[in-house]
Structure 1
Amino acid sequence: MSNEAETQYNPQCGVRRTIFSDEYDFLTKIESVCAKEDGIHFFVRTWKDRIATVRITFLTPSVFRFVMVPEMTAKSHRQTVVEDVPESEFETKNAEFTENEDLYIYETNQLSLHFSKNYWEMSIYQNGKLLTKEQAFDTNVDNRWKQLPTGFRVDASGKSIASFEQFVLFSDEQFWGFGEKFTHFNKRGQRIECWQKDALSTNTEDSYKSHPYFTSSRGYSVLLNTFTRSSFDMGASSWISYQMGSDDPILDYIFLAEESKDYKKLLQQYLQITGQIPMIPKWAFGFWMSKCSYMSRKEVEDVVADAEKFGIGIDVIHIDGWQRQDMSGVWEWDTERFPEPEEMIKELNKKNIHLSLWNYPYLQEDSPAFKELAERGFFIKNKEGHPAMFKATADSEFLCACFDFTNPEFLAWYEERVKKIVRMGVSVIKTDFSEAVPEDVVFYNGMSGREGHNLLTYLYAKNIYTWMKEICDERGELPMLWGRSGYVGSHTIPAAWAGDSSSDKASHSAILQAGLGMAMSGVSFWGYDLGGFYNTGYIGNEERPNIEDYLSSVQMGLWMPLSRAHGKTPREPWQYGDMALKEVKKWINFRHRLVPYLYHTACQSHQSGIPMIRPLVMEYPKDPIAKTQNLSYMLGDALLISPGFDRDEYELYLPEGRWQDIESKEVYEGMTFVHIENKAFADGGTSLRVFQKEGTSIPLFAQKEVLHVPAQLWKQEDLEFMTFQKKDVD
């Protein structure tokens, strides 16, 4: 019996239609299908009577790759995030392909993919239950598609130039991930763009490290397998569908599922495909001191001397302006301001202080080195074949060009310069910028700006990290990067910081959202500028942050995986008065005592892929309230951190079990809300509370004052344990 019914109002013509222009096309019906070694190939008729090939390949029993190739695609130099999947015991031939009257079915013992014969629609079942499916019927009252099904966009000649996919949005579905986004942790209802930007702040959707990867509360995740500009409409345009797409003419994504909705296990599957998290040095978990910028060797030495005088332990000191401004990017010390840099590094190392240096992937037009390097073809070019010129920031005085990290000759030249600096004893390279390359440029390997813009941010850091690793391996050390920009795969290039943050405490919660998103994207070693990078005064000038904002930022930052103070004005704690000095000194000292726990948690990240900071939903996936928490987080598996931000009072949710305030030792029952009141620092208050989970034991250095992370391996007798067991509260 037909489901069609006679209608008196506005009868429709019975064909698929769309409210969008004819430049769009989408899949409508399978014409034929065949099984090959690399999976199942569907040949699908489109709305505009074209043919597209859809290939489905199972990578593991719970992971598959979806690739749609329209019959005509625009010429591209596309590169994918994942091409060769690491070997596993599973082979594509282990998946079974069958059909019945209505469906083609392609399945493993964990996932079953159903493809309708009547119209194009893929449904994904897990253990017999619908996990999700493509959304083929998001239409309006005129039966016109207002959200397009799986398809592509074409140019005037009919060639595909962009692609998109659409899934059903379930009524209670939530989404997390997308890398570093300074918006609400749950991305449902948001529009997300993955196009790396110099965000210029840390409280908008613009970001330095967007990742086209997300996790659904239903127990699956998706990686859009492209470096091109991509966008995600996660229910902003419709309550019943979400859409993802990119400027890639080929739709290519990887779908991962986890039967128990264990988001840690889901993340582990993702890291098996995209790469594991390397370990970083122990000293990195100490306290980093920086400013934009220390401008001379004397200034660096004065800061170190002041830190010693005030009893502030510094493990890393960072220099932005170590090169001449017009030579920034060519890896040459300005020896007038920094004479005998190797000697300076040795003197710092004697004090257990490591040196970090800033780097810049651009070269400004007035540089004495510009002409020669341009003639050698080391810069990304415009369409006329000349260096593509642009401003690094809106207020830049000079135009600059960007080094081309796809040019082998440039890489050979650059490698030697990087290694020369690292061999001097430099421990960290800060890879700043790289997000400003225009769309209308041409890379050495033929990529356009659209294809290479995001990829550049990854190649820039990856190459420098690889060369650092070669030198560090020689001296028995681990390499360390401090990267502002990046992409999927950046978790394999530790570490990262959140860019140009505001000192205003109202922005600190936005920074935390980004950190939680990074954690759900597989990035473990992350931090932000303690004290805030900038602070705008009432008349528009740069000013030091007020004491409350400064202390709020520093306190939360010292409970992050990595802790670097940095700003356009001084961020040394002795610059903010006796009260601030006393508080920060106490916090830094406890940070140093906590390093054994931090290092243990970092080893967990390296070995099992579980990030150091964890959203509550990651640690408590079965707790429906934990899924809604975005203003608190776990640091490892034992500590729950609750920053106050700009709140005088609030309700804090504690998950199952019992929890002990590590300062007051008061014990709270879990699975309930606790009322928290914050007092100003000036009144003896705090902006952050830390709770230890029942049944855990946290290793601390036993010494009550620890100024540096010990270089040697610590022994059992060096430690004491902060233990919260049931017997302590019975």
Structure 2
Amino acid sequence: MDKKAEVTYNPQLGYLKTVFTHNFDFLTEIREYRQEESALELTVGTYRKKTAKVRVDFLTGEAFRFRMYPFEDTAVYENAVFPLEGKTGYELQVTEDCLTASTGRMTLRFGKRPWELSVFLDGKLLTRENVCDANVDNMCKYLPIGFDCDEQGRVIRVRETMYLPSDESFYGFGEKFTGFDKRGQVIHCRQCDALSTNTEKSYKNIPYFMSSRGYSILLNTYTDNVFDMGVGSGVSYGMESADRMLDYMLFCNRDYKGLLSDYTALTGRSPMIPKWAFGLWMSRCSYQTQEEVEAVARRLREEQIPADVIHIDGWQKMSEAGVWQWDLERFPDPRGMIKTLSEQHFHLSLWMWPYIAVGTEGYEYARAHGYLVMNDKGEVSTFHSAATSDAWFAAFDFTNPEMVAWYRGLVQAVVKEGVGVIKTDFSEAVPLDAVYHDGSNGLQGHNKLPLLYAKTIYEACRDVKQEQGERPMLWGRSGYAGTQNYPGNWAGDSSTAENNLACILRGGLSMGLSAVPFWGHDIGGFYNTDSDGYECPPTEEQYIRSAQFGLLSPLSRCHGKTPREPWYFSQQAQEIFRAYDRLRYRLIPYLYSIAWEAHSTGVPMLRALLLEYPDDCTARCVGMEYMLGSSLLVAPVFDQDDFRVYLPEGNWASLLTGGFTEGGRWVRPGKQLENIPVYLRENSALPIQGKDLLFTEEKPFEDLCVLMNLSTAAEEIFFDDGQEYRFRAELKGGTVTVETGLPMTSAVLYTQQPVVRAVVNGEEYTVEERSATVKLLNKNCAVPAE
């Protein structure tokens, strides 16, 4: 068809021009194709009259891997996080205009000229490339899929450009503290010591995102990469990496939970972590002596503050930190201390980093054995570990198998003493001129090192813990795609400010939408700087608001530069902290159940509302509250003047007061220092402890109380160490009927209907009505504490 049109402005030339002057190239037309059983290879012409190779591997019926190579160069360094190959067959149809490959539900359409990839699910378009984002002068202003080259014509960067519908939203990208919907943002995926939790910089950048249109993408490379989600152009979004080939995976599923499940089915789901990990962790930066650690443990028990973990940052001499050796001057009897803590039902957590001070004995040993990251001059790469550090450090090279084998022995020797968990700190400071043992340069290996650091320590701990009949875990600051395989994580160095809590929550929601389920943050904030630059403790309100949010997060740890134990604050703050800590311990059976669900399905514990309400357009934009599992909605209080909470459709019961609020709207619950809104979803149930506990035991739960909000019926599945318990409750005609295998001895029913009779597994229960709740008790059961 003749595309020539009569114009009086900017005469048409018959070929595409661009506004760019650098050495670029992009795909233009398919020249040849070759079909394999589960892959399709295409030879594609480019704008510069060269050729490129495109390979599409069909991973499942709803997922594919896309790779684009510069055809003239076969020696391309592949830096894939997940080197997956095709396993699913497909049908190929070829017409004059396009090639169409279909697995059944998923269809890929490749335009021959111009080149253009479109992705369909069940016959409906999900997404497509944008191959001509032009300006009024008919010049391309946002380059299509292709390459950038240096002056010698060598490929130095690759990119993909997608069409951006007017209503598309994006979520994920790891622990990003910016706006919840990432449309209109530029996302940099390069691990860094962010030094705070309220900027685009973050410790856990993950090049994976989900679209509101029903697909998700993983840019499958360790190499530094950038996503422009509608900033450079309002009608395109783009992703690029400093690689010589493009590698990404695309998943098709219109359900957000389904996307996470599909993604983690291929890239790994989090191993389960210990029960005690869901208790309170107590820490500061740092306990300095064995005597101090033991004193804190004693006081926690004396003050009746439930807790399970004590953490020590400074257990090594700082000059020797990194080689896994106790400072025996300050901690003269580590094994005795661990035994004392264990007798009080505490687990010990220890800090570690992947660096070693230059000039130390450990440094000289590692340098002599080739265990350190080098630079492009063939010397050990040295750097300052933090922005204010004057000392020089080197990094262990976790791409070196010999180093890893040696390092695992160091880890295991300490963990065998009875240490429960390792905190993996730092790892983001290695310079750009680095050269790694596996051949990666500074761009290719920077994001790889933090992941391999966590992997090495996790697997070393796993081997020891398996022998001891226990589960391993980490408390990790940095991570990357695949970090869900080495749980868990915390949000890094946060300030105590209340508005910073909102940034932390958005980071946590984004982590969950990036398939990382076990996550927490520093209760009390890690730092607080006054106007003169001095460190100061959090205010009472900052501490309380942080504790309320933190104790209703997947993992809960107090930590900061100044003391974070509640007895350093007012009596009111202590009472509120203790109340929420006890609430957390009551909720541990529920928390553990949704953790097991996360381990089994990839769906996180901390859930953006859109995961539970995918068809609610308002829920798509809500990033200041969250679902804790499927049953609880939590709305932390920050510094809002006009505090509003969005409740999706349904009747929501206040977990704390028993009152009901109709959903499908924004509500003003009021601000009280002692409480934050916690709602129980209509027609849902959750198991809690029947009594207050001071610590968590590694044994099956018993004597449970089940909380229910019923208008008609609820059906749930609860988990306890792989044991599956089905639960069904129905409210009809004044009778509540419950059928379950849970070890349940009582129940609390939030209801707006009169209840006169209760039957649980065929047994008649006493009905005791109190305000908006009904308590169901058998004759041997005490009433659960308010």
TM-score using structure 2 length: 0.89
Is the Cα contact below 8 Å between 1:178 and 1:521 reproduced in 2? Answer: yes
User: Are 1:421 and 2:414 an aligned pair?
Assistant: yes
Is the Cα contact below 8 Å between 1:516 and 1:614 reproduced in 2? Answer: yes
Query: For 2:498 and 2:75, how far apart are their aligned partners in 1?
Result: 48
**Which residue number in structure 2 is paired with residue 228 of structure 1?**
223
Paired amino acid for 2:709: F
Residue among 683, 686, 704 paired with 1:719: 704
Paired amino acid for 2:752: V
Paired amino acid for 2:680: Q
**Which residue number in structure 2 is paired with residue 432 of structure 1?**
425
**Which residue number in structure 1 is paired with residue 34 of structure 2?**
34
**Which residue number in structure 2 is paired with residue 155 of structure 1?**
150
Paired amino acid for 1:237: G
Is the Cα contact below 8 Å between 2:301 and 2:694 reproduced in 1? Answer: no
* Count of aligned pairs between the two proteins: 715
Paired amino acid for 2:561: K
From the superposition, tell whether residues 391 and 664 of structure 1 become closer, same or farther in structure 2 (CA, over 3 Å).
same
User: Are 1:22 and 2:7 an aligned pair?
Assistant: no
From the superposition, tell whether residues 620 and 167 of structure 1 become closer, same or farther in structure 2 (CA, over 3 Å).
same
Query: For 2:519 and 2:446, how far apart are their aligned partners in 1?
Result: 23
Residue deviations 1:254-292, cap 9 Å, x none? 11101xx21101110000110122100000000000001
Question: Unaligned regions of 5+ residues in structure 2, if any?
Answer: 712-730, 732-750, 754-786
Query: For 2:35 and 2:698, how far apart are their aligned partners in 1?
Result: 58
**Which residue number in structure 2 is paired with residue 103 of structure 1?**
98
Paired amino acid for 1:284: A
Paired amino acid for 1:695: N
- Residue 603 of structure 1, CA deviation: 0.9
Residue among 696, 711, 717 paired with 2:684: 696
**Which residue number in structure 2 is paired with residue 333 of structure 1?**
326
**Which residue number in structure 2 is paired with residue 48 of structure 1?**
48
Residue deviations 1:128-180, cap 9 Å, x none? 22211100111111111111100011122212121000000000000001010
Query: For 1:568 and 1:458, how far apart are their aligned partners in 2?
Result: 26
- Residue 648 of structure 1, CA deviation: 3.3
Paired amino acid for 2:61: P
Segment drifting more, 371-380 vs 593-602: 371-380
**Which residue number in structure 2 is paired with residue 70 of structure 1?**
70
Query: For 2:248 and 2:707, how far apart are their aligned partners in 1?
Result: 45
Is the Cα contact below 8 Å between 2:274 and 2:698 reproduced in 1? Answer: no
User: Are 1:10 and 2:10 an aligned pair?
Assistant: yes
Residue deviations 1:536-583, cap 9 Å, x none? 012011110111111111110000000000001100000012111111
SS in 2 for 1:640: strand
**Which residue number in structure 2 is paired with residue 57 of structure 1?**
57
- Residue 77 of structure 1, CA deviation: 4.2
Query: For 1:124 and 1:77, how far apart are their aligned partners in 2?
Result: 28
Residue among 516, 520, 530 paired with 1:527: 520
From the superposition, tell whether residues 60 and 711 of structure 1 become closer, same or farther in structure 2 (CA, over 3 Å).
closer
**Which residue number in structure 2 is paired with residue 291 of structure 1?**
284
Query: For 2:313 and 2:619, how far apart are their aligned partners in 1?
Result: 40
Query: For 1:145 and 1:470, how far apart are their aligned partners in 2?
Result: 55
Residues 193-592 of structure 1 aligned to structure 2 (within 5 Å):
193-258=188-253, 261-592=254-585
Paired amino acid for 1:185: F
Is the Cα contact below 8 Å between 1:531 and 1:549 reproduced in 2? Answer: yes
Is the Cα contact below 8 Å between 1:73 and 1:249 reproduced in 2? Answer: no
Query: For 1:79 and 1:464, how far apart are their aligned partners in 2?
Result: 22
Paired amino acid for 2:18: T
Paired amino acid for 1:447: S
Is the Cα contact below 8 Å between 1:74 and 1:160 reproduced in 2? Answer: no
> CA RMSD, aligned part only?
1.4
- Residue 625 of structure 1, CA deviation: 1.3
Residue deviations 1:576-627, cap 9 Å, x none? 1211111111111111111111111111111222111110001111111111
- Residue 74 of structure 1, CA deviation: 9.2
Query: For 1:570 and 1:270, how far apart are their aligned partners in 2?
Result: 40
Question: Unaligned regions of 5+ residues in structure 1, if any?
Answer: none
Residues 628-639 of structure 1 aligned to structure 2 (within 5 Å):
628-639=621-632
Segment drifting more, 27-36 vs 398-407: 27-36
**Which residue number in structure 2 is paired with residue 183 of structure 1?**
178
Query: For 2:396 and 2:124, how far apart are their aligned partners in 1?
Result: 51
User: Are 1:167 and 2:162 an aligned pair?
Assistant: yes
Is the Cα contact below 8 Å between 1:72 and 1:160 reproduced in 2? Answer: no
Is the Cα contact below 8 Å between 1:531 and 1:571 reproduced in 2? Answer: yes
SS in 2 for 1:391: coil
- Residue 697 of structure 1, CA deviation: 2.0
From the superposition, tell whether residues 520 and 228 of structure 1 become closer, same or farther in structure 2 (CA, over 3 Å).
same
Query: For 2:201 and 2:135, how far apart are their aligned partners in 1?
Result: 32
Paired amino acid for 2:318: Q
Residue deviations 1:392-428, cap 9 Å, x none? 1011120100001112222222111100000000000
Residue deviations 1:351-373, cap 9 Å, x none? 11000000010011142322222
Query: For 1:479 and 1:324, how far apart are their aligned partners in 2?
Result: 25
- Residue 83 of structure 1, CA deviation: 1.0
Paired amino acid for 1:548: E
SS in 1 for 2:181: coil
- Residue 236 of structure 1, CA deviation: 1.0
Query: For 1:16 and 1:468, how far apart are their aligned partners in 2?
Result: 57
Residue among 687, 694, 708 paired with 2:695: 708
Paired amino acid for 2:695: H
Is the Cα contact below 8 Å between 1:78 and 1:451 reproduced in 2? Answer: no
- Residue 649 of structure 1, CA deviation: 2.7
- Residue 309 of structure 1, CA deviation: 2.5
Is the Cα contact below 8 Å between 1:698 and 1:722 reproduced in 2? Answer: yes
**Which residue number in structure 2 is paired with residue 610 of structure 1?**
603
Paired amino acid for 2:121: Q
- Residue 73 of structure 1, CA deviation: 4.6
- Residue 189 of structure 1, CA deviation: 0.4
- In percent, how many aligned pairs have the same letter? 46
SS in 2 for 1:298: helix
From the superposition, tell whether residues 357 and 76 of structure 1 become closer, same or farther in structure 2 (CA, over 3 Å).
farther
- Residue 76 of structure 1, CA deviation: 5.7
Is the Cα contact below 8 Å between 1:76 and 1:447 reproduced in 2? Answer: no
From the superposition, tell whether residues 443 and 128 of structure 1 become closer, same or farther in structure 2 (CA, over 3 Å).
same
Is the Cα contact below 8 Å between 2:424 and 2:476 reproduced in 1? Answer: yes
- Residue 342 of structure 1, CA deviation: 0.7
Is the Cα contact below 8 Å between 1:73 and 1:159 reproduced in 2? Answer: no
From the superposition, tell whether residues 342 and 76 of structure 1 become closer, same or farther in structure 2 (CA, over 3 Å).
farther
Residue deviations 1:101-150, cap 9 Å, x none? 21111112112211222211111122222211100111111111111100
TM-score using structure 1 length: 0.96
**Which residue number in structure 2 is paired with residue 135 of structure 1?**
130
Is the Cα contact below 8 Å between 1:77 and 1:451 reproduced in 2? Answer: no
Is the Cα contact below 8 Å between 1:72 and 1:159 reproduced in 2? Answer: no
Residues 660-671 of structure 1 aligned to structure 2 (within 5 Å):
660-671=653-664
Paired amino acid for 1:522: A
Residue deviations 1:2-53, cap 9 Å, x none? 3431111121322111111232111111122221345211111111111101
Q: Which runs of 4+ in 1 moved over 3 A?
A: 72-78
SS in 2 for 1:610: coil
